[in-house]
Structure 1
């Protein structure tokens, strides 16, 4: 009997155990186990909606316990803390039972990445992060009172990548909607980026359109601005400019958690990603696979797979097929990333996207529909089209009956 353990219940990890549970888990000779400390799955590209109070927990969150029972895999609510490659065991910390060990035949690490504070003084103490649903919920718990209190409030967001841009746009939309309630509260948002443009990894023409839209929404965009240190209620730039704010959110750069560098000698790079071959197998242990943002996976042209949601989704599908080959004694095939472009949401009714190898840049409501479709494709893998269709219909009905900003519903 083969025991496959997948650590990390993000988009890649959950899609992988779903596929493996359906294909292998229902057979008596295979056991598929998901190890994840959280109780519910949230699609990471939508964490900014949780922080802005516009995410629908009832329809879009997934209970790991219920999902596992329906899809042929086991769920262990725990955080991985150690690895012993010689005995093929991992150590996990559980919220109730404490420390335990789990044995595996094959181990898949899909723990994602976190924001990189670049060791900037004061950031960890005085800034919020959006690396998990729990952090996004904490941000919402602090933003919500500001939106309910009359007067102008200030919010600074450091990092104009996809997360920072989408959060700024979503909060700007929420602040605009609040004016309909004559509540007297407004949110002044400043987006800070060290590079010379927002979305520095995207085509220049896409960056221009995104920044123009942000400014139309009332967001102050500061490019070529590097943060020197963070203090309580203010950020100090490299040229000693002071940006005061009621709340400060850090969304600049990525790295992987430090504990990945302590996994029984597995190779890591400077941002703590685990080094793998093009088969997604660890460079030092063929029984350990790594996928998603936590993997440094080489490509034929000498580049590496970028840390994007679509790369993680593609890796999950690829690895599910490779496990089927592995069980039949066939050789593993390399993972080749296919770049499908980039879509960034700027509020619930507008998005900008670069498609066809960045040759076409589109914007508007139809592109926002494409953004939502990407999320529905993720849900389709988890549930199938029948339930996804029902969820879409329910969400549209709720949208007609509920205010856009859920904080005003209570």
Structure 2
């Protein structure tokens, strides 16, 4: 019997242990273990909803402890701190700082990525981030008073990629909704991007539609604006302009955590991603696999798998199938990423999507429903269609009975 340890309970890691637990855990043929410091799983593309106070924690969060029990894998609440490849042992640290060790036969690292501040002075001290559910909750605790206070308040968001765009649009929607409740607050949002358009990684025609939708919501979009440093209550651009704000958020670029560069000699790139071959195996150790944003995975055309949620989901499904082959002594097949397009939520009831290799650009409520469907497909892997259907029905009932914004507006 082999022991497969998966480090990281994000979309890729959780989907992988779910599939492996159902395949091997229920028959007690192999031991499946998830190592994750958090108690609950939140789908990372929706962290901006936590920061905006619109995420339904009761229905959409996943308890690792409960999920592990239902899907026949073990859950260890701890963070990985070091690795010994010779003895195949991990060093773990729990929330109280206590150290422990865990051996493995196969190790999968799926810890995702974090925002890249590009070593911009003052950013880590004066800006909020959305790299985890905890950071998103802390952001909401500071955004909530601004939404409830009388008068006009300013919020700056640096980075007009998917996270920055969706956060700006969601907050604009919440602010507008509060006006309908005759609430006195007004949130002025400025979205700042260093390149010449929003969504610089997407097709240009999609960027144009998204920017128009943002501006229609009253969001100020600043492109070709590079932040030189952050200070308390203000951002200073490369041209010396000062952008004043009550709150500043950073959503520009990604990199992996520094500790990934210190894992017993495993190869990493300039973004601290672990280098893997086409089979998702570490370039230096066939017993170690890497998933999602943590991996620099080559493709046949010479490119690398992009750090996207859909790529992580595809890799998790692929690796689950490959473990079945590996444990039967069969050769592994390479991971080939298939681009399914891009869908960006611009508020809670509107989205813009790029499909068919950017040949088709769609927008509107229907595309927003497609965005929600992607999340439900993630839930389907975790729970099955029966529970997902029940969750959708409950959510619609709650939306009909409760206000859009979960803050106290009385």
TM-score normalised over the length of structure 1:
0.99
Deviation readout 1:331-372 (Å, 9 max, x if unpaired): 000000000000000111000000001110000000000000
1:88 aligns with 2:88: yes
Q: Does the CA-based 8 Å contact 1:403-1:409 persist in structure 2? A: no
1:283 aligns with 2:280: no
Distance (Å, rounded) in 2 between the aligned partners of 1:217 and 1:294: 35
Distance (Å, rounded) in 1 between the aligned partners of 2:296 and 2:409: 44
How many residues are treated as equivalent by the alignment? Answer: 410
1:125 aligns with 2:102: no
Equivalent residue, structure 2, for 1:320: 320
Deviation readout 1:192-226 (Å, 9 max, x if unpaired): 00000000000000000000000000000000000
Distance (Å, rounded) in 1 between the aligned partners of 2:132 and 2:159: 17
Equivalent residue, structure 1, for 2:183: 183
Distance (Å, rounded) in 1 between the aligned partners of 2:141 and 2:193: 25
Equivalent residue, structure 2, for 1:35: 35
Q: Does the CA-based 8 Å contact 1:52-1:143 persist in structure 2? A: yes
* 1:1-400 equivalent positions in 2, closer than 5 A: 1-96=1-96, 98-400=98-400
1:94 CA displacement: 0.9
1:95 CA displacement: 1.8
Distance (Å, rounded) in 1 between the aligned partners of 2:262 and 2:145: 40
1:241 CA displacement: 0.6
Equivalent residue, structure 2, for 1:406: 406
TM-score normalised over the length of structure 2:
0.99
Distance (Å, rounded) in 1 between the aligned partners of 2:37 and 2:360: 40
Q: Does the CA-based 8 Å contact 1:108-1:290 persist in structure 2? A: yes
Q: Does the CA-based 8 Å contact 1:402-1:409 persist in structure 2? A: no
Deviation readout 1:209-254 (Å, 9 max, x if unpaired): 0000000000000000000000000000000010000000000000
Secondary structure of the corresponding residue to residue 194 of structure 1: coil
CA RMSD of aligned residues (A): 0.7
Secondary structure of the corresponding residue to residue 408 of structure 1: coil
- C-alpha distance 390-235 of structure 1, shift in aligned 2 (>3 A): same
Distance (Å, rounded) in 2 between the aligned partners of 1:141 and 1:180: 22
Deviation readout 1:267-323 (Å, 9 max, x if unpaired): 000000000000000000000000100100000000000000000000000000000
**Structure 1 runs of 4+ off > 3 angstroms?**
none
1:26 CA displacement: 1.6
1:97 CA displacement: 7.0
Between stretches 354-363 and 26-35, larger displacement belongs to 26-35
Secondary structure of the corresponding residue to residue 335 of structure 2: coil
1:180 CA displacement: 1.2
1:27 CA displacement: 2.3
Distance (Å, rounded) in 2 between the aligned partners of 1:24 and 1:389: 27
Secondary structure of the corresponding residue to residue 282 of structure 2: coil
Residue segments in structure 2 that go unaligned for 5+ positions in a row? none
